[in-house]
Structure formats: C-alpha cells, structure tokens
C-alpha cells in the first residue's frame, strides 16, 4: 500500500538520521527568535541564528518536519487555497541542513537517492532547476546524477535585478544568500501547465517538490556578494506534495490526511459533494487555525491574532455558503487531533481549548454574518464588475468582514473590490474619529497597507501598526 503521511514523516527522518543528521522537533508557528517574522514559514526559521553565526548547536547536520504557515506575511498563500492543487496555508515542510558541513554534492545526491530509491519515483518524471550562474550544481545534476541536460533548467534573474530570481535565495536584503536548486515532478500532460521557467510554469502539471538552498555568499549593502567561509545547506520539501505523488493522486487535497479532513468537513457542513472547493478551504483552514491556537495565537484585531481571525472567518463564510447558519467549524478539531496529535503533542494537549476558542469566534461572527452577506449580495447587482470601496468598508466596520473575506466572495463571482476606495473610507473614519477625540491613534500609521491583506509585510511591527487602525468589526 502507498505510504501514509505518517509513514512519510518517519521515513524522511530515518533516512537523514542514517546520513548522520540529528532529528530536531518542529518549532512553534510563532517564531521564538525573530520578532520581525509573523509566522514560521519554513524549516530554517528555527536555525536562522545558526546561519547568522550568533547561535551554536552541538550538531552540524539536522533534519526536521516543520509546521509552517504561509498566510499574512511576505509568503502569503491564502489566496491560492481552493484554487491550486499544491498550496495550503498550514503545511509541513521536510528539511535537512548542513551547518558548514556538507554542500551541494551530498545534498543533491541524497535528495535523489531518497526520491528515486527509497520512495521509488521514476527518474524520468523529475526535472531540476539551477540558478543560471551555478555551473557547479548544473554539473552535479548532469554528470553525477546523470539527468539529461534538457531536464536541468537554468533559471535566470527573473525578478527584476541581479540576484533577483526564483533560484536565488536571500535571508534578507543583506546577509547569507545563495543559489537554489529545485526538484519538480511531472504529473503528466493531461494537466495544464508548463515546465519551470516556461510562461505557464504556474500551472499544476510540473509541481515543485523540493528546494535545495546553497548558502554560499554574503550579500552586502551595495548589492555585491562575497563567499561565506563555511557554506551551508538548507532544504525544504512539502510533505503534502510528496504524499500526493506517493499516493498516486494529483492534488494535495486528495492525500490520506485531507481525505479524512474533507470527510469531516462534509459531515459538519452537510455538503455531500466531496469535490466542493469550499470543503478544501475549510479542511485547510482548520489546520492553520487549530495549530495557531495551540501555539498561543487567539483571534484579535491586530497582528498575528488578526491573521488568525481572518482565516477563521473565511472558513466560516465557506461553511455559510454551504448552508450552515450555526457554528460548525470547531467540530473538526477532534478529527484533526486524532490525525495529527501524535506528531504534534502541543495540538494533542491543547485540543479542548482549541475547540473552545474556535467556537467562541464562530458564535461571535455568526451574529453578523447573515446580515453582512445580505448587504454584499444586494451590492453585487448584475453587471457590476467592481464592489465599491465604501461597501467593503461598511462590511468590515459594521459586520466584521475582513477585506480579504469580501474579496474572496467577490472573486467567486468574477468581481473585484475597489481597495483604494476602501482605504479612503477607512482614512475618513479615522480622521473623523480623531477630530471627535474618540480614540488615540499612532501618527506613524500607514494607511496604504491597511487594505493590502498584509501582502509584503513580514514585519509584525509594521503589520500590527496597520492593524491598530482597524476598529473592532463586531459591535
């Protein structure tokens, strides 16, 4: 039988343990060592200070299965959920690291060995990318591994500038950086999408499974790079994407774990159509929000808590769309704990509290949801292509609809939202409030970001400033 998600976690760690790696547990979704980062969004976050040289570990090789969240920061996949086969908000990243120990050759060779020999993936379905200047990685793929040159793709500086590339990784504007090599799996010509580097690479035919980052330079203020004395390796592979391949399905949402969650979402919402996109969204969002609560994030109107609130309310709205008029979302928690509690002891321990927190937030939002939806439906009159900003703002201000929730509804109906108008309404209300002396405001607040659903904000400090201008959405 195909490997389950649980089998894959174990086999990955066993493999790297056999190659001399120390297995390190997943760190919390709220990074303990980095107040500027909203959420842990990759396996390397807990090792950041090791790469910067300010932390030392008793090992030079490590491996982990890391809980990650890509919502609300610079990496934001919230808008992809329900639309692509490969994106979640919460996902698990399998990773291995070298802290100044092995480098490109071992990383690529072991990666290949694991995929083709341990997991038995057919080599002809795998394609690799390298940074266009990285001849060393190119030669390892073509000469050591023996991949045909047409399946080793050099990726240029495709992000508008030297070293701005999908295949060049930077920790920040300055500091450790270097080329990456990524491995893609071809799900077959019946699925739309082109190979990496092609115009339709964002399709779901060639799915990126494993990123190997080779930290070999230090980036300076002037944009020049110098070699690092002890190059490092940082890799990350999406557990759900690998599981999809090993379980012979195309979408992450069809793997064993999601099959169970979607079944639970179907029971909780009464939607019998197991392929309904809203069930995928609910199944995705229960993981994100339950793990957030278990890591100490409760819904609120600022910072991490507001991202948490946005994800919960989005899930609730999808349930509402399926006919739910009463709290249903929290009912998925026991199933999630059953599925993931053994691998994540904090989730296991906090299960009851998670359920209570989610239920309370549901009760709160259900008070205004139906009325808000009515206003939104009325505003979306036939032929209207853009929702006026003042409507989106009213929904936000009076009915507790985060802007991205309104955008999610509108997107389903082929309508955009006038975000500039939303910002103006927000600014006008703030000015009026200030004139009336009703509340104190931070003068440094930047309105422009308020409606941008946090995209581009990785810093909690700026995100919470922006969020500070939000008034409580529920009267």
Chain contacts with Mg ion (rule: CB under 5 A) = 208, 211
**Residue 129 or 324 with smaller CB distance to ligand ATP:** 129
Contacts 24+ apart (CB under 8 A), 352-358: 353/293, 353/294, 354/290, 354/293, 354/294, 354/330, 355/330, 356/330, 357/293, 357/298, 357/299, 358/289, 358/290, 358/293, 358/312, 358/329, 358/330, 358/333
Which residue minimizes CB distance to ligand ATP?
A: 238
DSSP letters along 14-27, please?
HHHHHTTPEE-PPP
**C-alpha span between 228 and 234 (Å, rounded):** 15
Q: Give every CB contact of residue 442 below 8 A, 6+ residues apart in sequence.
A: 465, 468
Distance between CA atoms of residues 44 and 51, nearest Å? 9
Q: Using the rule CB under 6 A, which residue among 30, 69, 93, 347 binds ligand ATP?
A: 93
When the beta carbons of 91 and 328 are compared against Mg ion, the nearer one is 91
Which window, 44-52, 121-129, 233-241, 466-474, contacts ligand ATP (CB under 6 A)? 233-241
Does 187 contact ligand ATP by CB under 6 A? no
| Beta pairing, strands 152-155 & 126-131 | parallel
Nearer to Mg ion, 37 or 298 (CB): 37
Closest to Mg ion by CB, 236 vs 473, is 236
Q: Which burial class, exposed, middle or buried, applies to 136 when counting CB atoms under 10 A from its CB (0-12, 13-18, 19+)?
A: middle
Q: Which 8-state DSSP code applies to residue 448?
A: G
Judged by beta carbon, residue 177 or residue 467, the one nearer Mg ion is 177
- 208 touches ligand ATP by CB under 6 A: yes
Q: Which is nearer to ligand ATP, 76 or 406 (CB)?
A: 76
Binding flags for ligand ATP, 60-79, as an x/- string (CB under 6 A): ----------x------x--
Determine which residue in the list 44, 78, 85, 237 makes contact with ligand ATP, applying CB under 6 A: 237
Least separation in angstroms between CB 43 and ligand ATP: 8
Angle, helices 303-321 vs 277-294, to 10°: value is 150
Report CA dihedral (363, 415, 466, 88) to the nearest 10 degrees. 70
* Burial bucket for residue 471 (CB in 10 Å: 0-12, 13-18, 19+): middle
Q: For 32, how many CA atoms within 13 A lie in the half-sphere containing its CB? A: 7
- Indicate whether 473 belongs to the interface with ligand ATP (CB under 6 A): no
Smallest gap from Cβ 2 to Mg ion, in A, equals 25
CB of 38 to ligand ATP, least distance (A): 15
187 binds, among ligand ATP, Mg ion, none (CB under 5 to 8 A by kind): none
- 208 or 361: whose CB is closer to Mg ion? 208
Q: Is 91 in the site for ligand ATP (CB under 6 A)?
A: yes
Distance separating the N- and C-terminal Cα atoms of the chain: 53
Binding-site partner at residue 361 among Mg ion, ligand ATP, none, CB < 5 to 8 Å by type: none
DSSP state of 213: E
Whole-angstrom Cα distance, residue 222 to residue 226? Answer: 12
Q: Which of residues 7-46 bind ligand ATP (CB under 6 A)?
A: 42
Residue 212 binds to ligand ATP (criterion: CB under 6 A): no
Per DSSP, what are the bridge partners of residue 236?
A: 211
Dist. CA 450–CA 469, nearest whole Å:
8
Partner whose footprint covers residue 215, from Mg ion, ligand ATP, none (CB < 5 to 8 Å by kind): none
The size of the interface with ligand ATP (CB under 6 A), counted in residues, is 17
Question: Which residues is 464 bridged to in the sheet?
Answer: none
Residue 179, interface with ligand ATP (CB under 6 A)? no
Decide: is 86 part of the binding site for ligand ATP (CB under 6 A).
yes
Contact region for ligand ATP (CB under 6 A) — 18-26, 230-238, 375-383, 399-407?
Answer: 230-238
Instruction: Between 208 and 362, name the residue whose CB sits nearer to ligand ATP.
Output: 208
Asked if 209 interacts with ligand ATP (CB under 6 A), we say yes
Stretch that binds ligand ATP, among 206-214, 288-296, 373-381, 466-474 (CB under 6 A): 206-214
Whose tokens are 């291995």? That residue is 96
Pick one of ligand ATP, Mg ion, none as the site partner of residue 88 (Cβ within 5 to 8 A by kind): ligand ATP
- DSSP 8-state secondary structure symbol assigned to residue 138: H
| Binding of ligand ATP by 96 (CB under 6 A) | no
**Interacting residues with ligand ATP (CB under 6 A):** 42, 70, 77, 86-88, 91, 93, 208-211, 236-238, 240-241
């Amino acid at each position: 039988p195909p490997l389950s998600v649980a089998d894959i976690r174990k086999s990955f760690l066993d493999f790297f343990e056999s190659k001399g790696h120390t297995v390190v547990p997943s760190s919390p979704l709220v990074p303990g060592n980095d107040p500027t980062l909203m959420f842990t969004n990759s396996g390397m976050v807990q090792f950041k200070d090791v790469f910067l040289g300010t932390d030392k570990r008793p090992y030079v090789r490590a491996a982990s299965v890391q809980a990650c969240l890509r919502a609300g920061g610079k990496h934001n996949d919230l808008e992809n959920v329900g639309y692509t086969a490969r994106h979640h908000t919460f996902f698990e990243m399998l990773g291995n690291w070298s802290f100044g120990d092995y480098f490109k050759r071992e990383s690529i060779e072991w990666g290949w060995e694991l995929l083709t020999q341990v997991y038995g993936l057919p080599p002809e379905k795998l394609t690799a990318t390298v940074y266009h200047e990285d001849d060393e990685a190119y030669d390892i793929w073509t000469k050591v591994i023996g991949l045909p040159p047409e399946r080793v793709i050099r990726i240029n500086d495709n992000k508008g500038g030297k070293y701005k590339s999908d295949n060049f990784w930077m920790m920040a504007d300055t500091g450790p950086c270097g080329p990456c090599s990524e491995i893609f799996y071809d799900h077959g010509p019946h699925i739309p999408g082109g190979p990496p580097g092609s115009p339709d690479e964002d399709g779901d035919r060639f799915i990126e499974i494993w990123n190997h980052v080779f930290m070999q330079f230090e980036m300076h203020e002037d944009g020049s790079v110098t070699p690092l004395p002890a190059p490092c390796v940082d890799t990350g592979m999406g557990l759900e994407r690998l599981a999809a391949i090993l379980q012979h399905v195309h979408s992450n949402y069809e793997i064993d774990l999601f099959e169970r969650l979607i079944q639970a979402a179907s029971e909780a919402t009464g939607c019998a159509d197991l392929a309904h996109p809203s069930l995928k969204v609910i199944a995705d969002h229960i993981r994100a929000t339950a793990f957030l609560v278990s890591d100490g994030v409760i819904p609120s109107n600022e910072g991490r808590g507001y991202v948490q609130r946005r994800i919960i309310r989005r899930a609730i709205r999808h349930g509402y769309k399926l006919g739910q008029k009463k709290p249903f979302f929290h009912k998925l928690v026991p199933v999630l704990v059953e599925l993931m509690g053994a691998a994540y002891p904090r989730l296991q321990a906090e299960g009851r509290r998670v359920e209570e927190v989610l239920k309370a937030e549901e009760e709160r939002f259900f008070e205004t949801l139906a009325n808000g939806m009515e206003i939104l439906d009325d505003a979306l009159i036939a032929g209207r292509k853009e929702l006026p900003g003042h409507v989106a703002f009213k929904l936000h201000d009076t009915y507790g609809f985060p802007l991205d929730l309104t955008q999610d509804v509108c997107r389903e109906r082929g309508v955009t939202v006038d975000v500039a108008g939303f910002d103006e309404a927000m600014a006008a209300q703030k000015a009026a409030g200030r004139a009336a002396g009703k509340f104190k405001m931070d003068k440094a607040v930047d309105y422009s970001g308020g409606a941008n659903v946090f995209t581009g904000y990785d810093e909690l400090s700026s995100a919470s400033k922006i969020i500070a201008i939000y008034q409580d959405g529920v009267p």
